[in-house]
Structure 1
């Protein structure tokens, strides 16, 4: 049985907080850790991927978190905020934010991101959203290609702070029809 066949999607539960925090931190450090001073990276990880923070996100009714799992192994996750992250750039009337879509660094290229993205678009539509926004680092070219394949387009230049470092980011968005 291949990885893609065995993969299942399920909603995050309180018991998933530690594994979700660990995967989020590991994925971020693997992809972007080299960009930051240790103190900036440490502060960011604590504020974005700390277990207590993630447990609060799981409990937050304004957030949806879907996990991609293979048995007990967490392969990836997608976090949706059921509110607009960048109202000044909104084109829709009910906009939601795709906050994070991460895969285990050892499991990329197996269709995990596409499955999670499909869930996210369905979740947004079920919520009544007509647009989904997300931010991506300006030099994350693989993510740019992935989001373009998923129907997103760049709509603005924005920034993202990691400690005291300002990252240039792109705001991508996708209008949802029907």
Structure 2
């Protein structure tokens, strides 16, 4: 596995993996029309290209030996929930996705290690992230890294409002 920053040429693969990973974990929760609209807005090639080009974001990839995209991590260099910020400089872990077929290979851990190191290099004092209230596995993963629940928040997909947890960690 090679860890590297995303380039504009990666936009299509980033969009595809984002959509695939989101659907593998959450598609069953949503009406098809809501899911399709969400994916078109949040996981399109255009959206991925804009995020990769955005100087206020960092997109990091885990790539396999054959060049296949195994995972991705998006770090937003701004606070997503300023009302819950405990330090002056807060970053948001926007997405940490692995290829559903590659789960359990240490990809998520490698990407989380990168995100924490990147946040430290940016002199961030805190990292925030949102996690679905029903995703116990992700909550355990984040807890192992020292993240703790800070607040109840919401995530909207179409007409559905999901109960989410805001997790945060002081750095």
- TM bucket (normalised to shorter chain) is over 0.9
* In 2, Cα distance between equivalents of 1:149 and 1:35: 26
Structure-to-structure mapping, 1:156-171, within 5 angstroms: 156-171=151-166
1:62 matched to which residue of 2? Answer: 56
Gaps in structure 1 of 5+ consecutive residues:
1-6
Query: Could you tell me the TM-score, scaled by structure 2's length?
Result: 0.98
Q: Distance in 2 between matches of 1:174 and 1:115?
A: 18
Report the RMSD for the aligned CA atoms in angstroms. 0.5
CA drift of 1:128 comes to 1.0
Trace 1:5-84 onto structure 2 (pairs within 5 A).
7-71=1-65, 72-84=67-79
Aligned pair count? Answer: 170
Report the alpha carbon displacement of residue 77 of structure 1 after superposing the two structures with TM.
0.4
Dislocated runs of 4+, deviation >2 Å: none
Instruction: Structure 2: give runs of 5+ residues left out of the alignment.
Output: none
Q: In structure 2, how many angstroms separate the alpha carbons of the residues matched to 1:70 and 1:160?
A: 31
Could you tell me the TM-score, scaled by structure 1's length?
A: 0.95
Whether 2:105 is the aligned partner of 1:113: answer no
3-state secondary structure, aligned to 2:105: coil
Report whether the alignment pairs 1:104 with 2:99: yes
